Amino acid sequence: MARPRPEPMQVVKQRRDAALKALVEGVPYIRFLNISFDRRGDELTGVLNFEEKLIGNPFLPAIHGGVTAAFLEVTAVITLSWEYLFPRIESGELDAEDVMNDEKIRFPKTIDFTVDYLRSGLPRDAYARAFISRSGRRYASVRVEAWQDNHAKLFAQASGHFLMPQPRPDKG
């Protein structure tokens, strides 16, 4: 038996990009910080697009520590949500429009998040990538790295725990 013919590349790309866009642009706070995501296959890179309002120390100047924490947390939650929703997006069960509109779709909730500040964030774009160390039915453990000019020189790293969306108990 011949395997089924693969879907045309454009169809795959369009479906994945539309779902990611809905996931990211549906959140007002992500727009407020002007964070976007690059996608290569299933790998996501968060991009913190620099703006003056992200500054925390105007004398250095440096990116606000709280912005760095928020950027890493957003990257962790989006990466985790993406991993969690991806099979349903791929199977066609979930459309891009449903991602933010369907009341039944819940997102992982942060339980705790710890940030190490390794060097000050320079006033320019920053990048982050999250690695899911473990993802169980109830809890997930995620590590995040953030860098600017040089990927080998991280300016912050974080690790956190998340509560995965729980199926609602059936009534009746």
Partner 1 sequence: MVDKTKLARQFIEAIPHAKALGLELTSIGAGEAEITMPYNEALIGDPRTGVIHGGAVSAMLDTCCGAAVMSHPSAPGGTATIDLRIDYMRAATPGQSITTRATCYHITRNVAFVRATATDDDQDRPVATASGSFTVEGK
Q: For the window 94-133, what string marks contact with partner 1 as x by the rule CB under 8 A?
A: ------x--x---x-xxxxxxxxx--x-------------
Query: Per 3-state DSSP, what percentage of the chain is helix, strand, and coil (rounded to 5)?
Result: 35, 30, 35
Residues 142-171 that bind partner 1 (CB under 8 A): none
Alpha carbon 152 to its chain centroid, in Å, reads 21
Contact 113, 97 (CB under 8 A): no
Does position 26 interact with partner 1 (CB under 8 A)? The reply is: yes
Residue 35's Cβ-count burial label (10 Å; 0-12, 13-18, 19+) is buried
Least distance from partner 1 to the Cβ atom of residue 8, Å: 33
Cα torsion angle, 28, 32, 38, 42, sign: negative
Least distance from partner 1 to the Cβ atom of residue 162, Å: 10
User: Which residue, 14 or 57, is less far from partner 1 as judged by CB?
Assistant: 57
Query: Distance between CA 112 and CA 94 in Å, rounded?
Result: 29
Least distance from partner 1 to the Cβ atom of residue 168, Å: 15
Does position 14 interact with partner 1 (CB under 8 A)? The reply is: no
Binding site for partner 1 (CB under 8 A): 26-33, 52-58, 64-67, 69-71, 73-74, 100, 103, 107, 109-117, 120
